[in-house]
Chains A and B, each alone.
Chain A
């Protein structure tokens, strides 16, 4: 549950500050790139989690997002395209005392690393994945990605893409994800809160960050970021609270039959009591999946922690099996193993 704090990670004896994680490297993302805001949020979160600063491990693959490890002062590993998730899995299983963070993008984790992405989630390894979703390949200068909206013209789809895009949340929940949250890069406050929750979650947490690529896909998330429209198209989820949104906070989400429906409070006899109340901790992912799939213009986009369910983590179970074997096996060292079974003297 939310109160569970990962006990395997070593606590810091001293209070940490932002300065403890400041890197000496020049940040080379484009001016105006959403990644700067994500970095700011991480700088807010890391000192507050309470782990020793040496226990943070930042891993990335390839892409704009994957330059992240250079810009935060932790142990860092900038790996190869698509492979940050299995690498992070190896690190966490090898040393469960680490707080392992993955910075990845829509291409890195949903195209070339798609297989690893669903499997790390299925295993529920206790790592934190920050999925930068700008719906484009930025570092290679503007080709479509697995999340590019169908029909969009890019450098490799001059007549518009003819591919159905992935919704990150659907993949995560389809892979039995225990934690999925969505934030937007313009809202540092919400990013900070959500990442803090992700860090406290035991298991794989995926935070999808709707990120703007100012050069190759500017304003791709405009409906949910622009001043005039964002309140109408963002449903900010709060656990235990009814799902209300809109500039006048007069709209809500209810379950009508088997579908979600946008309703207006005060119209057709609708009151707050008719609205769905968010339960991020419930095991059944049904409503979570429906929320994750909601997209403008028909629906608002669900923001915040959509799902945070409690399941045993892979790394904990690895340790449990090892502890059990150590306690119950007669083989305590290599000499024991060498001399076990059918051995005879000549």
Chain B
């Protein structure tokens, strides 16, 4: 390390890589984040893809990004503004400069800031020279030229050489954050094990970037992020969708059942389907069906046949599954429906995140068809909530909706690997073969749960289906009083799940001026804002809800401790109305954002401060 550099010790930093969708920014970001994870920093990552696979080059529509938030403290959010922005072309700079902090390093490939490219990106003048970046630390690096220069001796084709320039930017960033090249080199070696020439090329460019940054006077300040003080154990980086898939496999293993997934590809949920398709060695059966409806119907069939059955989707797919969800409700079969929420309505914003399917999850079915609804609040939490959703579904013979979000599914964080022995047991209510007292709708008096008699079991042949059934006996029944009774049973059965749901926790004191309520992916940003206000002496607390139906049994008590309650959501106000329906004597307001973007800590702070001043 050069002696002339200032080394700044940072508690947490945000680095964002952006470029054309063909520039390899996802790989660059992944290698960078894996390196910081190996270096024992805590981290989250958040990719930002365009909806198009390959939009026209150097256009805003084609910008692909990858954000890494890492630090020596617990990292709770994907990060608001970045301290380093790597922009590989004018369009990506144009689209992302607003996410860079004043004073941030802006590292660009200067070779691409030509008049034609600048104009295509919507710049009237060259941003590198017109003074518009004067408030930032601009590193205008002629990356293509430097890459070509560095690998001249390898005599490789031009296309491969230019493609490798992302390694140049990675080299710069690894130097800038005092990280070694070891992990990246290891990865390149294994990725190109059969193409040693390409391995050599990429490693040479990576080192060239690192050495360039070391020598360049513009990088006069470099950063040191110390190891995070996290619980000891084995760790890995995990994406939310992968975590959801793993949580389901873990639940099947605990319940000693086969896992069955019926699904259909849909952004941003497809990764769960792809992940589960990989794990046939664990007995996971996956059918990629012809449509969303078939996906859930297949799962219902597999559930009747005795599997832990799941279906995975996103908003429009959840709409298509509505009728079949009603079938799962009336047949009282275990089923996990994962909805990775995206912006709506209709096709909406497929690659952007939102929390706008809560009301649909609670009510979006014909007739009265109540379902258990659970949400997850971070990529790692997707593992535990998927496991819990399966546990509830199996033990209570009910369909359960797990709401995650695109941001959680695509985002990643450090996962302390649990041992399977640490996870709770799952005990489905299997019927006993040849039980003379078996009836399809006979219920446990405590939980109202019926028994699970799977085809093949001796002495328990029976029929169920979508028509209303007679209490206990299970024959088709149109009797008015029976229908009313069964309707209340179905509702009460869901309500009694509350006994297995942990009490609602509070961050902060149990009483105060203001309670901030959040759910889903916003936990970290809301927490950061509330913590700041508490440090400043305000009487504010946070209640982050994961269990949305039934709501935890102490909810009323938690809400009662505060003069005012503000419910923050990435929709126009859904949880707030659900709370008002259930607990109507409190003073509520709401804070919403429906832009397909997460809350910024700064905007939350500003809003909460205003509320507290009133």
Closest to A53 in B: B461
A83 near B463: Cβ-Cβ < 8 Å: no
B457 contacts partner chain A, Cβ-Cβ < 8 Å: yes
A346 contacts partner chain B, Cβ-Cβ < 8 Å: yes
Closest to B469 in A: A78
Q: Report the stretch among A33-41, A303-311, A330-338 that lies at the interface.
A: A330-338
Chain B residues with Cβ below 8 Å from A341 are 236
Closest to B39 in A: A344
Interface residues of B in 5-40 (CB under 8 A from A): 34, 37-38, 40
Q: Report the stretch among A86-94, A217-225, A236-244, A293-301 that lies at the interface.
A: A86-94
Interface residues of A in 54-103 (CB under 8 A from B): 54-60, 62, 69-70, 73-80, 83, 86-91, 93-95, 97-98
A94 near B233: Cβ-Cβ < 8 Å: no
In the complex, 20 of the A-B residue pairs with CB atoms within 8 angstroms, ordered by the A residue number, are: A70-B476, A75-B462, A75-B463, A76-B461, A76-B464, A89-B294, A90-B297, A90-B298, A93-B302, A95-B307, A97-B456, A98-B305, A116-B290, A324-B280, A326-B280, A326-B283, A334-B420, A344-B236, A345-B234, A346-B234
For A, the interface residue count at a CB cutoff of 8 angstroms equals 59
For B, the interface residue count at a CB cutoff of 8 angstroms equals 69
Chain A residues with Cβ below 8 Å from B476 are 70
B300 near A90: Cβ-Cβ < 8 Å: yes
Question: Quick one: given A70-B476, A337-B282, A345-B235, are A87 and B461 in contact (CB under 8 Å)?
Answer: no
A331 near B279: Cβ-Cβ < 8 Å: yes
A88 near B253: Cβ-Cβ < 8 Å: no
Contact of A115 among B290, B303, B457, B466 (CB under 8 A): B290
B246 contacts partner chain A, Cβ-Cβ < 8 Å: yes
A344 near B234: Cβ-Cβ < 8 Å: yes
Instruction: State the Cβ distance, A74 to closest chain B Cβ, in Å.
Output: 6
Question: Quick one: given A78-B465, A119-B290, A338-B246, are A89 and B282 in contact (CB under 8 Å)?
Answer: no
Closest to B457 in A: A54
Given A52-B456, A87-B304, A90-B309, 13 extra CB contacts under 8 A: A57-B305, A75-B463, A77-B465, A83-B293, A86-B298, A87-B301, A90-B305, A116-B290, A119-B290, A322-B281, A334-B250, A344-B236, A345-B232
Instruction: State the Cβ distance, A220 to closest chain B Cβ, in Å.
Output: 28
B463 near A116: Cβ-Cβ < 8 Å: no
A335 near B419: Cβ-Cβ < 8 Å: yes
Chain B residues with Cβ below 8 Å from A55 are 455-456
Instruction: State the Cβ distance, A14 to closest chain B Cβ, in Å.
Output: 12
B461 near A74: Cβ-Cβ < 8 Å: yes
Instruction: State the Cβ distance, B70 to closest chain A Cβ, in Å.
Output: 14
B305 near A91: Cβ-Cβ < 8 Å: yes
Contact of B253 among A80, A115, A333 (CB under 8 A): A333
Question: Quick one: given A53-B461, A77-B301, A87-B298, are A93 and B287 in contact (CB under 8 Å)?
Answer: yes
CA distance A93 to B307 in the complex (A): 10
B306 contacts partner chain A, Cβ-Cβ < 8 Å: yes
CA distance A321 to B237 in the complex (A): 29
A268 contacts partner chain B, Cβ-Cβ < 8 Å: no
B289 contacts partner chain A, Cβ-Cβ < 8 Å: yes
Interface residues of B in 448-466 (CB under 8 A from A): 454-466
Chain B residues with Cβ below 8 Å from A256 are none
Chain B residues with Cβ below 8 Å from A342 are 34, 236-237
Chain B residues with Cβ below 8 Å from A93 are 260, 285, 287, 298, 302
B297 near A326: Cβ-Cβ < 8 Å: no
B324 contacts partner chain A, Cβ-Cβ < 8 Å: yes
CA distance A52 to B279 in the complex (A): 32
CA distance A75 to B417 in the complex (A): 41
A339 contacts partner chain B, Cβ-Cβ < 8 Å: yes
Instruction: State the Cβ distance, B508 to closest chain A Cβ, in Å.
Output: 29
